[in-house]
Every structure is written in C-alpha cells, then in structure tokens.
Chains A and B, each alone.
Chain A
C-alpha cells in the first residue's frame, strides 16, 4: 500500500511541484492550502506517514500545527518536515520537535533524500 504524505502549502505551484515529485516516487499525496481544510480532512481520514508543513499560511502558522501534532498522543510519532523561505523558523521553539527543516528554495534531490530518510 502506498505511503500517505500530507502537504500543508498555500502556494498552488509549490504544492503541485511537491505533489508531482512525491507521486512520482510512489507516495499518495494530499495537498492542503489552509490549516482549516487540512484539519477538516485529517479528522476524517487515516493519519499520514509523513507531514510536510509550510510556515506562513493564510489562516495561521504552520508551526502551531507542528506543535499540536507533536503534543497529541495519536500524532506525535508521525514525522514532520517544516518548510520555509524564512530561515529563522528553523530555530523557532514550536519547531523543536520537528524532524527536519527544508529551506526554500530547495534542491529536489536533497528534498527527496530528506523525505525518504523519514519514511525508511
């Protein structure tokens, strides 16, 4: 069965790029452009194998979602990659339990290396 990856990214083109790259690698990818739509979906569907979160989202901060998932018992074991063009978020307290930080713009090879490292 394909591993599920949820992507929280508001920029449609980046979302599409990531979806393309990961689908090509054989993953099942769902992209969400708002926190609200992500929560709505996640509440009624199976948990993913990996969560990739952008930080600056139209209805909130992705780091809050990260902290929330890393605190909740049901989700804390799910690996999370935080992704931002703003380097300072790498050291934000809410990101301290994240499993990796991806700087935008990223190199697709290293991006895939990072993803695979979390799913192996």
Chain B
C-alpha cells in the first residue's frame, strides 16, 4: 500500500466537505461558491450556488440581538478588505426561524499574485454553550438576589461561598467570611450544634428547617431557620454542604404578637364570662384584677370600686393581685379618698405615672404586704372606671418595677376592661337597689295589711251585732252580703301578705301535732253557718289523722279548697271531703259537682295570679291555690287535681305525718 506522503486538492476538498464544522467559500463578488454539509445543517437550508451572497443564513444579528445587513456581515467586510472583521460572535436566523449563536472566522482568499479573489468562512455553533452560560448566570443571580442567606461550606465547616442575603442577615461581606469557619456564626453555647449538623451531612442526610440561634457580625443573636443539604462532586462523594438560613425574627415576632392577642382575647372572654355568670361584685372584680395584672405583666394590680350595701350605704372596696396570684387585703384596707381619685384623673382616660416617688398618694397605694421578692414599684398605669353616665365609680392601678413598660395596646385593652367593670358595678348597684326596693315593698305590704285589718275588725264586729238584732228579711239579706264581702277583703289582704312573705323567703311554719280530721270537721262546721247553698259531707272523718303540721296553714288550705269547691259549683248542692291515711301520710280529697277544668287549666291552676277563664266575676287575685301549693310543698307533701270539663273537680293533697327537720 502506498504511503500518504503528500496531500492533493482532492483530500482538502474531502476534508472541507466532511468537516463537522460549518464552512463555506465566497468569490470576489461575495457569491457563495461552495459550502459543506455542516453549513447546510446549521443554516437549515442549501443556498443556491452563485446566487446567495456572503451568508446562507436568513438574517444575521449581533450578540445584542440587533439586525446586521448581510452586506455588512463579517464575510462582506473581509471581501471589502477589512481584516478586522474576523473572529466575531453573531446570531444567525435559520430557514425555520430558529436562531443559533455562532463564532465566525472569515478569512480572505488571495491569488498567487496576492490579489483578493474570494473568502472562506468557518462557523462554530456555540448555542449550547451560550445557554449553559445563561443558566449559570440565572442560578447565580437567584442565589445572589435571595433574601435568605445561601452559603456553602466544606466538610470541615469552612465557608466556601457567601451570597448577598448572607451579608444582609449576618453583616459579613463575602471577602471577610469566605475561608473562615462557619462556627463564627454560632453562639458559644451552641457550638456542638455544628458537629451534629456536619455529622448528618456526612451521612448524606438533609437538615430541614432547623430553628436555632445565630450571631451576626455585630454580636446580635437572631433566630434562624436552617436548611442544610449535602453537596456532592461529579463522582457522587459528599464534599460539603449548602446551607440556606432564613432570618425568622419577624416570623417569631408575628407569632408572639398573635399569641399576645390570643391571650388578650382569652382574658376578655374570661372576664365577660365571669361578669355574666356571677352576681357577686367582689369575686368578679377579683377575677378581673387577677387576669389583667397577669396579662399586662404588671407587678401589682389594684382595683378600687364603690359598692352600695343593702341599707344603701356606699363604701369603697379594693381588690388586689400580684402578677402571680390574688392578694388578700383583709387586714390591710387601703383608704383612697374620692377627692384623690378625682384629682388623679381630672377628665383623663388613663394616666401614666413615670415615677411614683414623685406622687406620694399613688406611691402609698402600693405600700402593700407583698412578697418581698417583688422590687419596689416605680411606674404606675392608672385607668378610671366610669359608669354609663360618666361618673367616676372606681379605678384600676397597675404598678411596675421595671422600666419602659407602657404601651398603647395595653392601655387600650385596660380601657375596654374598665368599661366592662363599670357595667358590672352598675349592674351590682341596680341589683342592690332592686333588693332594697323589694325589701321596702314587703315591709309596706306587711304594714298596710295590718292597717287595713283594723277597720275591718270594727266593721265586721258591728255588722255581726246588727245581724243578731231584730231586722227584717231584706236587711238581713243585705247584712249577709256585706259580711261576705268583708270576708273576701280579709282573705285578699291575707293572701297579699303571704305572697310578699313567700317572695322574701319569710313564710314561716310552726309545726305542731294535731288531728287533721278534727280540724276539718271544725272548719266544715263554720261553713254550715256561712254557706246555705251547699252541704259539705265529710267521709271517713273518724280515724287516726294525727299529723305534724302548721295548724293555721292547713286550715288556710282547707278553707281555700272548700271555698273554691262552693264557688265553682254554683248550680250544685254538695261538696264531698274524703280523708284517707296510711302509716306515713294523710290524704284529703275535696270533690265538687261543678264546672270542672280542662286539661290546660289543670296545669295552670296552681300558678300565681291564674284565674279560670270566664270566671272573673267569682275570682279573687288567683293566689289561693298558689299559696295552698306552697304550703303543701313546704310540708313535704303534694297537691293536685283530677277534673273533667262539666263533670266537677277533685282537688287532693297528702302530707307526711312527720316533718323531717
């Protein structure tokens, strides 16, 4: 085989055509006379030989994207004799509209005489490289522009890279910190943390959102959240770690703010609950002062408030609390004169006293038997409590030993709580007033009933004397009517008095042992005189009906039941009373043959002021059965009714033979 010792033109031609690098040749006028396959691929077309000039591309742009006329293309420039046009970067537009980045190397072709006869051009496609470069730039830009600190370090903890975020958060410039240990950023009491992190990384594990503390260049400790991932080389070996640190001071502050507001809400809720559930002023105020003192982290809280007792006397009370607990001031009552309270506030909503030592009357408020560990009170926040009509009815004082304690949020909160307290105090005052009025009402009814009965006594007496005398039938009928009406008035007055006693919880009973059967017979006998319309039969009257009960009250019940039986059976003539007894109780039934009661009415007859519809002519105040029920209930018995409309009613009651008292 013949050795290759010289290269002829055909080999060069072959090389040109087969080269993977795009190349083409133009003549003196710039017409393309030859191009290889690589050039056709790059352009995406095959320009017509002898027609296309200077370039096979659809269009040419400089790297900035500005269009370059083809006659000013580097090849054209070379053919114009401009040697400097060589080795430039261009963007070419292909036949399909896509663009490629290329480096062009146009060179002139000269004849053996040295005349310019054409040019050749080589195009190196650098598009992939350019894109990679762009991606790198974007990544780098992302890292640089991140708000988080992005840092890389090797397995010895030496910092390798440092972005602007890291500089912003930690204060060190890149040049100051790269090459130093990452321990520079770790507070001394957390130094072993880095060992733990490096251990995790060297094991190939990621440390995710680890919240810890780091130190800035100025020495300030800041809370950070760290995410640390292992960094590997091309062979997959772990060579270091990338670390993203986020400054979470704001987040933590937001969390604390939320927590603070939650606590405030909870306190307000608790106070609202206590105000709506309790009526006892002092325990409400104590709860309020305990929780508010704790909430605003005061060392001592005091609440002065005015209360009115049952006799209408107004006194100043005080509740106190320390940050931890309620403070009992039983033996250490503080006197705060109204004049002083008024002087403190004088129209202000709240007063901040920077130095209580300068206002002795406030200083003296805090002279309490307190835990000696509480340092002396220095500052005071004073909040007035005003009633709905703007009267000053109390005040809250919060004492602090620390400096720099006042803030608007606390003050706003305390103002709202003060208005809640005002509502409480107003309510308590109204409650006391209502109680006092009720007391007066009951006293008045007692007095009035006594005074009303005095003229009744004389009227009844004289009418009864008249009744005995010789008078005609008409006169006698009128007298009977008048006496009946007197009895009604007397019964009404007694009922009113009883009701007021029940309301006041003063209906008292005097238990004695007597025979209920005998009592009933006595009562029935008096009805034989007064009621000429009805005959009252007593069944089983003989027997052992001994009970321990209040004789007058049982008489009242029997009279009420018999009177009702007669009153509500105007067209009948008989009332039946039946007694029954057992070992433990005695029962009585009173049966009439009257109008009876519907189901609804039966449920209501024992309620206060109830009157059966359509019977208003007959009725009194509607208190009789209510009182009877109260009396039977208080004897530990029960009372009820069986009835059908139009078929009469049976009222019955039972009482135990003995009272368990």
Contacts and interface: CB of A to CB of B under 8 A. Distances in A.
Interface stretch (B23-31, B367-375, B446-454, B532-540): B446-454
Interface in A72-109: 84-88, 90-91, 104-109
A20 B464 CA distance: 12
B127 interface: no
B453 A85 contact: yes
Nearest to A108: B464
Interface residues of B, number: 21
B462 A17 contact: yes
A36 interface: no
Contacts of B465: 17, 20-21, 108
Contacts of A88: 508
B461 A14 contact: yes
A26 to B, nearest CB: 16
A29 to B, nearest CB: 14
Nearest to B455: A13
Interface in A1-55: 11, 13-14, 17-18, 20-21
Given A91-B508, A105-B456, A105-B486, A17 B450 contact: no
A85 B508 contact: no
Given A17-B462, A87-B552, A91-B510, A106 B450 contact: no
Given A11-B458, A17-B461, A21-B465, A104 B453 contact: yes
Contacts of A115: none
A11 B453 CA distance: 12
A84 to B, nearest CB: 8
A91 B508 CA distance: 10
Nearest to B510: A91
Nearest to A107: B464
A20 B465 CA distance: 10
Contacts of B462: 17
A25 to B, nearest CB: 12
A61 B486 CA distance: 27
Contacts of B459: 105
A18 B306 CA distance: 55
Contacts of A56: 450
Nearest to A109: B464
A21 B457 CA distance: 13
B460 interface: yes
Interface in B423-458: 446, 449-450, 453-458
A88 B450 CA distance: 11
B450 A85 contact: yes
B511 to A, nearest CB: 10
Contacts of A91: 508, 510
A91 B507 CA distance: 13
Interface string A50-75: 00000010000000000000000000
Contact of A106 (B455, B457, B494): B457
Interface string B51-79: 00000000000000000000000000000
A105 B461 contact: yes
B146 to A, nearest CB: 91
A50 B397 CA distance: 71
A14 B457 contact: yes
A21 B465 CA distance: 8
B212 interface: no
A13 B453 CA distance: 13
Nearest to B454: A11
A108 to B, nearest CB: 4
Given A21-B465, A105-B460, A14 B450 contact: no
B446 A108 contact: no
Contact of B454 (A14, A20, A90): A14
Contacts of B457: 11, 14, 17, 85, 104-106
B409 to A, nearest CB: 61
A56 B461 CA distance: 20
Most chain B CB atoms below 10 A, which of A84, A85, A105: A105
B454 A104 contact: yes
B490 interface: yes
A86 B460 contact: no
Most buried by B among A18, A21, A107, A109: A107
B559 to A, nearest CB: 13
Given A17-B458, A104-B454, A104-B457, 16 more contacts: A11-B454, A11-B457, A11-B458, A13-B455, A13-B458, A14-B454, A14-B458, A17-B461, A17-B465, A85-B457, A86-B449, A86-B450, A87-B494, A104-B456, A105-B461, A107-B460
Interface of B: 446, 449-450, 453-462, 464-465, 486, 490, 494, 508, 510, 552
9 contacts: A20-B465, A21-B465, A56-B450, A85-B457, A90-B510, A91-B508, A104-B457, A108-B461, A109-B464
Interface of A: 11, 13-14, 17-18, 20-21, 56, 84-88, 90-91, 104-109
